Structure 1
């Protein structure tokens, strides 16, 4: 599956949309995803501009830049289709007296989200589940090298109009090994348009060991259908990327 033609087709559909429906909750930023789905027949594009990752391993220092894309399509009822990938990536590697860089595209993923209890009301509990398959069609430096299957859930509780708390749990199955992620997030709104949050990501990888990251981010609504975001996570411990950070934009298109 090639992501570029699919994204080009969907982008043309987005541009041709002339009217808007009510804005949804976006999946960016932070761990997990929104516990609501898009209205039937509407689209959303969530784009990293880009994501930055820094990791030191085996005497090498790697810096990776990723323009990650997520297209969401409302299918009706509590179901949503998602197409994800990264059409552009850049790797800068230094170590042991050598230096190299690579540019290419990453793997492509397809997913279905099911949100049987989605609600944005204060005092409400909501949850959603996401099943995803990631295909090994990326360039060598930017892909998994094998098909990956993922299953995750996000649970959210909004005690009032200002605060929201979520818990994200996910399992990735790749090359016969499991990676588990558990990430609580605590958010607070400042005014009508600004949301700030903190999060902690606890990751158990059967091959790379345990990872713990902590950080947070902000999301700012521009009008009713555009959101800007920025976030950063820092490693706590010895394993995993030392820094993960990014900025992004999310846009909702209805019809």
Structure 2
């Protein structure tokens, strides 16, 4: 499955679509995903602009730029369909007296999110959602897993009041018969009508590289009622893994008349 025609079709549908419906929460930014799904027949595009990752390993310094994309389509009820990937990536590798760069596309994933919902009462607001994904090994050599990967994740969200939002994200990836685990709490706060900021910690057990611990945070700014800009950064504070991850993104919701 190649992501380019899927993205092209999604953009065409969004431009041809009728009036907006009420917007849902976006999955970007931060660990995990929103505990709500899109209304039936609506679509959202969430696009990295791009993500930057730096990692030093075995005497090499790698810098990777990834234009990650996520398309969400409401199926009705508590379900939505998702397709994601990265149509453009760039790798810059330096070390051992040599330099190398590569450009290509990454793997494509498809999944279904289920959001049963929960209490929305102020001071007692809890909701949760689960997401099952399959990632196909169709990316270029430098940007793909090399095998099909299965993922299952869940996000729980607590809203003690209208301005605070805390989440806990847990996920397992199964690749080549081995499991990698992620557990990530986030603590968010709204500032006025348009701004949101959050702190995040990611504890990861990678089947190949061992334990990783990242910490950081980000901000999101709402543009009107149907678009959002975001920025985030994570820094390694223990174990293996990237020494720095950062990115910018934009999310847009495309709805329909009620």
Give the TM-score band, short-chain normalised: over 0.9
Structure 2 CA distance, aligned partners of 1:122 and 1:5? 43
**TM-score (normalised: structure 1):** 0.98
Aligned to 1:239: 240
Q: Distance in 1 between matches of 2:116 and 2:53?
A: 34
Q: Structure 2 stretches of 5 or more lacking a match?
A: none
What are the equivalent positions in structure 2 for 1:110-189 lying under 5 Å apart? 110-117=110-117, 122-123=122-123, 124-189=125-190
Rounded to whole Å, the distance in 1 between the matches of 2:75 and 2:122 is 26
Distance 1:97 1:237 in 2: 28
* Separation in 2, partners of 1:238, 1:29: 24
Give matches, 1:215-254, under 5 Å. 215-254=216-255
Partner of residue 79, structure 2: 79
In the alignment, is the contact (CA less than 8 A) between 2:30 and 2:217 conserved in 1? yes
Which runs of 4 or more aligned residues in structure 1 lie more than 2 Å from their structure 2 counterparts after TM superposition?
A: 118-123
Alignment of 1:1-150 (within 5 A): 1-117=1-117, 122-123=122-123, 124-150=125-151
Residue pair 1:168, 1:182 contacting (<8 A) in 2 also: yes
CA distance 1:119–1:2, change in 2 (3 Å): farther
Equivalent pair of 1:40/1:74 in contact (CA under 8 Å): yes
CA distance in 1 between counterparts of 2:239 and 2:168 reads: 24
Query: 1:246: how far off?
Result: 0.1
The number of residue pairs the alignment matches comes to 255
CA contact (8 A) 2:63 2:91 kept: yes
- In structure 1, list runs of 5 or more residues that go unmatched: none
Q: 2-side partners of 1:146 and 1:8: how far apart?
A: 26
Which residue number in structure 1 is paired with residue 202 of structure 2? 201
Q: Following TM superposition, by how much is the alpha carbon of 1:18 offset from its aligned partner in structure 2, in angstroms?
A: 2.2
Q: CA RMSD in A?
A: 0.9
TM-score (norm 2): 0.97
Map Cα deviations across residues 100-152 of structure 1 (whole Å, 9 max, x no partner). Answer: 10000000000000000156653310000000000000000000000000000
TM-aligned CA distance change 1:168 to 1:251, over 3 Å: same
Deviations 1:51-73 (A, max 9, x none): 00000001000000000000000
